[in-house]
C-alpha cells in the first residue's frame, strides 16, 4: 500500500489579485512550490492587473473570521502570513483571533505590511495603519516591510545600508517583533540587500541584483516563502535565508505574460 506523504499546512490571510501575480494567488503558488499545503482567508477582492488596481471590495469582518475559524478547525496551520488587510475592522478580526486563543505562542505569524501597490494604489485605509502597528505587529513573529513601507512606519525612508540596519532595530524596539527590511528598491550597487534583526541575530542577506525585469508580487512571494519555511519547522533566521534564496530564484526565472513579467518557476534546489 502506498504510503502518503504528510504536508505541513500554512495559512495566508490576504487579498485576491485577479491578475494572478500577487496576493493570495502568489502565496498559494509559493506554498505549493515549497512543499506546503496552502489555505487561505481572503480579506478583499481586487480588480487588478500588473499595471493598475481598478477597484477594491473588502470582505465583511464576520466572513473573514469564519474563514480563519474554518481553517483552524480542521487544517490547523503550522505558520500564518498576512498580506493586504485593507481595513481596520479586518485587522482587528485577525488580532482578536490570535489573542483570544493564545495562538501566538504556538503558530508563527509573518506580517507583510502591504500599504501601497506597485502602481501606487493605496491598499490599506489610512485609519487602519495605527491598528496594524498597535494590534497586529506586537503579535507578529516577523514583519517584512520594503523601504517605502519602512518609511511610512518609522517616518524616515532608509537610503543606505546603515539606515536599513538602524530601521530594523527600531522596528524591533517599537513593536517587539523581528524585522526584515527589504532593500530591493535601493539602487546602489550590484546587490539586492535585506536586513534581518530579531533582537539577538542580525543578518545581511545579499543576492546579485537582476536587471531588466520589473516584477509584481515579490513582497507577497518573499513573505510566503518565509512562512512556508517556518511551517516546515525551520527557525526564523533559517526561514528568512530560505525566503531570500527563493525570491531571488523566482525573479531570475521570470517569464513574460503579455507586456509584463511574472515570477518564474522555482528549481527544486531552492527547497534545500
Give the length of the chain. Answer: 272
| DSSP assignment string, 132-146 | IIIIIGGG-SEE--B
Distance CA 253, CA 265 (A): 6
155 tagged catalytic = no
**Residue 39 cell numbers, joined:** 489555505
C-beta separation of 65 from 37 below 8 A: no
* 182 is known as an active-site residue: yes
Q: Which of 218, 221, 248, 270 does the annotation list as catalytic? A: 218
Q: Distances in Å between the alpha carbon of 263 and those of 9, 137, 256?
A: 23, 28, 9
Q: Which of 20, 23, 184, 217 is catalytic?
A: 217
Question: Would you call 259 a catalytic residue per the annotation?
Answer: no
Single out the catalytic residue among 20, 184, 219, 243: 219
The residue to which cell 505549493 is assigned: 32
Catalytic annotation present for 219: yes
Within 10 angstroms of residue 10's Cβ, the number of other Cβ atoms is: 31
Assess whether 44 carries a catalytic annotation. no
Alpha carbon distance 116, 84 (integer Å)? 9
Q: How far apart are CA 192 and CA 85, in angstroms?
A: 27
Catalytic residue of the set 133, 215, 221, 248: 215
From the candidates 182, 227, 244, 270, give the one annotated as an active-site residue. 182
Taking a C-beta distance cutoff of 8 angstroms, is the pair 212, 225 a contact?
no
Residue 4 has what DSSP assignment?
Answer: P
* Residue in 82, 220, 221, 244 annotated catalytic: 220
- 258 is a catalytic site residue: no
CA distance 210 to 67: 38
What is the Cα–Cα distance from 32 to 46, expressed in whole angstroms?
23
Residues 6+ positions from 152 with CB-CB distance below 8 Å: 115, 129
Residues carrying an active site annotation: 182, 215, 217-220
Amino acid at each position: 500500500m502506498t504510503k502518503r506523504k504528510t504536508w505541513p499546512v500554512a495559512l495566508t490571510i490576504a487579498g485576491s489579485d485577479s491578475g494572478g501575480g500577487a496576493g493570495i494567488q502568489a502565496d498559494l503558488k509559493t506554498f505549493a512550490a515549497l512543499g506546503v499545503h496552502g489555505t487561505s482567508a481572503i480579506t478583499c477582492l481586487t480588480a487588478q492587473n500588473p499595471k493598475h488596481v481598478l477597484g477594491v471590495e473588502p470582505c465583511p469582518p464576520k466572513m473573514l473570521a469564519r474563514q480563519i475559524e474554518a481553517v483552524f478547525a480542521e487544517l490547523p496551520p503550522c505558520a500564518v502570513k498576512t498580506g493586504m488587510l485593507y481595513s481596520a475592522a479586518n485587522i482587528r478580526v485577525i488580532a482578536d483571533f490570535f489573542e483570544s486563543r493564545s495562538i501566538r505562542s504556538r503558530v508563527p505569524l509573518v506580517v507583510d505590511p502591504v500599504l501601497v501597490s506597485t502602481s501606487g494604489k493605496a491598499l490599506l485605509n489610512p485609519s487602519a495603519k495605527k491598528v496594524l502597528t498597535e494590534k497586529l505587529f506586537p503579535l507578529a513573529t516577523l514583519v517584512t516591510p520594503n523601504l517605502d513601507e519602512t518609511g511610512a512606519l518609522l517616518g524616515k525612508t532608509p537610503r543606505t545600508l546603515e539606515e536599513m540596519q538602524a530601521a530594523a532595530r527600531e522596528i524591533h524596539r517599537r513593536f517587539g517583533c523581528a524585522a526584515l527590511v527589504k532593500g530591493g528598491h535601493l539602487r546602489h550597487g550590484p546587490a539586492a540587500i535585506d536586513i534581518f534583526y530579531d533582537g539577538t541575530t542580525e543578518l545581511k542577506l545579499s543576492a546579485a541584483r537582476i536587471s531588466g525585469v520589473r516584477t509584481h508580487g515579490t513582497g507577497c512571494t518573499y513573505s510566503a516563502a518565509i512562512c512556508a519555511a517556518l511551517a516546515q519547522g525551520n527557525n526564523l533566521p533559517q526561514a528568512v535565508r530560505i525566503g531570500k534564496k527563493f525570491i531571488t530564484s523566482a525573479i531570475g526565472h521570470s517569464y513574460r505574460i503579455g507586456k509584463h513579467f511574472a515570477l518564474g518557476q522555482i528549481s527544486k534546489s531552492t527547497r534545500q
